[in-house]
């Protein structure tokens, strides 16, 4: 299975996440926007993640919403806008010495896309991926003022419950967590990463990067 982290505006957990991965001798995958890569306050952490041989990929440049939330087949960007934005994000990866060929998996912003976006992604030589549904891990960005707010305890338990209730457990899973959240959320899921890794290791899961996971299939 793979633990995948996404980041755009917030990166408050990046140092802690990177140090935890190093301490636990585990590698993860990071899909970050061009805005994130350009943010000077995050660049030292990004370099350390790269040194730790974690997977670094693109999450777009400007974190665009590609299609309507209610009508998923309704595009909000043109193919040219999509490609230009994506090229800008890979220019930022290149500044960190990461070539497009080394980061050919693409996780779309908001984890929201349609068949057109999948086709456009393929046309530029990339493979679109997404997180595995079933847990509430991707709700760790929510804040107490939101109707869909989920506490870290609730999210953490949803991961454990899924693993226990399904015969295949979390085998082949792509588990998504955010590298940072709005300051209004004091309850950070990434702070429980050491506990989560220990649990997964005890269950004999092999934690690998997405390129390793998907090449194994």
Say yes or no to pLDDT of 22 above 70: yes
Say yes or no to pLDDT of 14 above 70: yes
pLDDT given at position 216 = 52
In Å, what is the CA distance from 184 to each residue of 20, 65, 73, 142, 157? Answer: 24, 23, 33, 9, 22
**pLDDT single digits (tens) 68-122:** 999 999 999 999 999 999 999 999 999 999 999 999 999 999 999 999 999 999 9
Set out the domains of the chain in order of their start, with CATH numbers: 2-215 (3.20.20.370)
| Kind plus residue range of the DSSP H or E element containing 163 | helix 152-165
- In SS3 terms, 103-129 reads as CCEECCHHHCCCHHHHHHHHHCCCEEC
pLDDT given at position 164 = 96
pLDDT given at position 215 = 83
Say yes or no to pLDDT of 19 above 70: yes
Say yes or no to pLDDT of 217 above 60: no
- What is the value of pTM for the model shown? 0.96
Q: Who contacts 204 (Cβ-Cβ below 8 Å, separation ≥6)?
A: none
Q: What is the mean pLDDT of residues 56-65?
A: 97
pLDDT given at position 5 = 98
**pLDDT single digits (tens) 185-196:** 999 999 999 999
pLDDT given at position 45 = 95
In Å, what is the CA distance from 89 to each residue of 28, 38, 53? Answer: 20, 9, 20
Say yes or no to pLDDT of 38 above 60: yes
């Amino acid at each position: 299975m793979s633990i995948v982290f996404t980041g755009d505006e917030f990166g408050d957990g990046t140092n802690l996440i990177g140090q935890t991965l190093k301490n636990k001798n585990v590698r993860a995958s990071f899909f970050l926007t061009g805005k994130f890569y350009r943010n000077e306050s995050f660049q030292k952490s990004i370099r350390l993640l790269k040194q730790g041989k974690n997977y670094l990929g693109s999450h777009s440049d400007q974190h665009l919403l590609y299609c309507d939330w209610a009508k998923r087949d309704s595009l909000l960007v043109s193919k040219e806008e999509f490609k230009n934005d994506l090229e800008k994000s890979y220019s930022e990866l290149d500044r960190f010495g990461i070539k497009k060929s080394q980061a050919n998996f693409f996780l779309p912003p908001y984890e929201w896309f349609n068949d057109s976006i999948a086709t456009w992604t393929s046309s530029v030589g990339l493979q679109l991926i997404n997180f595995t549904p079933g847990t509430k891990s991707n709700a760790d960005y929510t804040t107490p003022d939101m109707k869909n707010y989920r506490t870290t305890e609730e999210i953490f338990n949803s991961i454990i419950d899924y693993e226990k209730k399904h015969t295949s457990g979390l085998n082949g899973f792509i588990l998504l967590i955010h590298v940072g959240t709005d300051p209004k959320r004091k309850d950070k899921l990434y702070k429980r990463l050491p506990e989560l890794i220990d649990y997964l290791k005890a269950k004999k899961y092999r934690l690998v990067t997405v390129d390793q996971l998907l090449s194994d299939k």
